[in-house]
Structure formats: C-alpha cells, structure tokens
Structure 1
Amino acid sequence: MTATAALAACLVFILGRLLRKRQRKLPRWAMPAAIGCTMIVYSVWNEYTWFARMQSALPQNVVVLGTGQRSAPWAPWTYAAPVTVRFVAMDTHAISRSEQKPALVRGRLLLVERWQPTRTVAVAFDCAANLRADLMGSATLAADGVLTGARWQAVAPGEPAFQAACKSM
C-alpha cells in the first residue's frame, strides 16, 4: 500500500510540475487527497480480490469446498457486497483409502482465513455409510475401520467435503 501511495504522490507531483509550466497551480490539498483516495481504493480492491487471487494460486489438486463472507461497520459498502474472508478446501492428493475397507477414506481440509495462518484438519469418511469424523488430537482411524478418539457423524451425501473425498467410489 505504501508503494501505491508513493506512486500517487509522484503522479500528482508530475501533474503539478506540468501545470506550473502553464502558469497554473494545483490546490494544496490535491496531494494528500490523491494519496488518501488511492490508499482507500487500493485497500478495497485488495480485500475484494483476495479470494480470487488465493484461488488462482492454489494447485489443481486443491478443491475449494465453501467460502465465508463478512460485512463490517467500518466498511459500510460490505453490507451491499460482502467480502469473502475465508474458505475451506480439500487437497485431493492427500486423500488415502484403506486397503482393508476401501469405503474408508482419509483426507485433509485446509481452513484458510484472511489475516490468519492456514490450519489443517484431518478428516475421515465412511463413504458407504455417509459418515464423517474429525481426526483431531490423538484421534486415529485404523486400516480395519476402528475409530478411536473421535465419533462418526452423519453427513448428507451432497456435503462438499464428503463428495470431494468419496467421488472416486
């Protein structure tokens, strides 16, 4: 943002020099107004394009499953057009199937949020029974299907993470 402000200042300076050669002057408020407006426009552009830029930088094997938006009082325009500030994705190359029970799948969800470090959550799916378990802490899923340290939860077959993990069944 500092570079954007510096560019605006340079452009206003050049414009002022050109006008001075023609015996005209810019008002004194032109420089700070141009810098302030440039910084606001850049900040709004940066917020609204964050998700698209992040998504285009993801490898092809990472599938975006859902997004979250935000509106804020300090940015009243976000009530008309909320800003995407987080998304959940799955790394399809990290999906592994149990050799003993092929309906059991393990994967990794990526929780990406603006201004926060990316977190990962290991998950297990029973594609035949429409079940999901979050493998947090010491939770494990053995190759024979025994789940320890977590509980199976029913999921709708249309749930995006379930579909991404079980689509090759």
Structure 2
Amino acid sequence: MFLELVGTLVAGLAIAGVVMALNRFTGGRLPRWLAPVAAGCGMIGVTIASEYGWYTRTRANLPETMRIVEEVESRALYRPWTYVAPFVGRFAAIDAGSVRTNPSQPGQRLVDLYFFGRWAPVTKLPVLVDCDGHRRASLAGGAEFAADGSVAEADWRRPPPDDPVILATCEA
C-alpha cells in the first residue's frame, strides 16, 4: 500500500514536470493551472490502473495448483466508474495440491481455501468436503478425527449444487 502511494505521488510529479517543460518550450503560453490539474488527473489515472490491474497481477503470481473458485467484484459510490466497469477486489482460491484424502473416508477431501483481498492479508481456511454427500464443513476452530477417520462434530453446510468449492475440490 505504501509503495502504491509513493508510485502515485511520483506519477503526479512526473506529469506535472512534463506539463511545466511543455510550458517552457511553448514560451509560457499554457495556463498556470494546467500543471496541477494534469498531476491530479495523472494520479487518479494511476490509482485506477492499479485497482484494475491488482487481480490480474495477483492471479498471474499464484502457483499452478491454485484454482480460483470465486471472484467478488467491487462497486462503490465514491468510484462511479466502477458501476460501468467493476473490478475484482476479492477472490477465493483452493490449493488443489493440498487436497488430502483418507482411505477410510474415500468420499471426503480436506483442502485449503485461501481468501485474497485488495488491501487485506491472505487468509487460509481448511475445509472438509464430502463429495458423495455434496456438503462441506469449515474447520476454522480445528478438527477432531474419530477412529474411523471421520471428523467429529463437523458443522456441515449444504451449498447449492453448483458450489465452486465442492466442484473444484472433487475434481482435484
């Protein structure tokens, strides 16, 4: 976040410098207000480009085993352009390489679900998926396994049939 702020300020100064140089080459014919207005517009442009490019840059840096299961688009009143073209501000992905199975519970899989946010740290949540029963349970508070390999006291949820977490985990 700090580096983006510095980059935005440097872009504003650079654009103001270009306008001031143009003014000098034209013999002072440009209005005096043009340099600060150009700097402000440039800083807004850099900020917008950074917001729209964050998801693409983050997705490109993910390992090949990560599969994105949900994208959350961001719209805000103080950014009116996002109503025309929203940007992805958060997303969730599973690590297909972390899928674990238990031979005594072949229909169940344990996977790590990661949550990414524009200005938030990455968080990891272990999720138990029952592919046969089409249900899943969050293991945020830890898990206790029974003797047969099942998870004791799991808080099972029945999501819609097209739940991306279950579909991606069961494919892995």
Normalised by the size of structure 2, how large is the TM-score?
A: 0.86
- Is the 1:69–1:85 contact (alpha carbons within 8 Å) kept by the matching residues of 2? yes
Matched, 1:136 2:137: no
Which residue identity is paired with 1:9?
A
- Is the 1:98–1:143 contact (alpha carbons within 8 Å) kept by the matching residues of 2? no
Find the partner of 1:126 among 127, 130, 138.
130
| Unpaired segments ≥5 residues, structure 1 | none
Matched, 1:109 2:109: no
| Unpaired segments ≥5 residues, structure 2 | 1-7
Structure 2 counterpart SS, 1:26 = coil
- Extract structure 1 runs of 4+ deviating beyond 6 A: none
Residue 39 of structure 1: aligned partner: 43
Residue 18 of structure 1: aligned partner: 25
Which residue identity is paired with 1:55?
R
Question: Relative to 1, partners in 2 of residues 1:96 and 1:75: Cα closer, same or farther, differing over 3 Å?
Answer: same
How far is 1:105 from its partner? 0.6
Residue 5 of structure 2: aligned partner: none
How far is 1:46 from its partner? 1.4
Structure 2 CA distance for aligned equivalents of residues 49 and 151 of structure 1: 37
Question: Relative to 1, partners in 2 of residues 1:141 and 1:88: Cα closer, same or farther, differing over 3 Å?
Answer: farther
Number of aligned residue pairs: give it: 165
How far is 1:12 from its partner? 1.5
- Is the 1:98–1:144 contact (alpha carbons within 8 Å) kept by the matching residues of 2? no
| Range moving further from structure 2, 56-65 or 153-162 | 153-162
- Is the 1:88–1:112 contact (alpha carbons within 8 Å) kept by the matching residues of 2? yes
Structure 1 counterpart SS, 2:93 = strand
Which residue identity is paired with 1:103?
G
Structure 1 counterpart SS, 2:140 = coil
Structure 2 CA distance for aligned equivalents of residues 142 and 113 of structure 1: 35
Per-residue Cα deviation, 1:45-80 (whole angstroms, up to 9, x for no partner): 111222122111211111111111222111112222
Normalised by the size of structure 1, how large is the TM-score?
A: 0.88
Structure 2 CA distance for aligned equivalents of residues 112 and 39 of structure 1: 25
Q: CA RMSD in A?
A: 1.8
Structure 2 counterpart SS, 1:103 = strand
Residue 100 of structure 1: aligned partner: 104
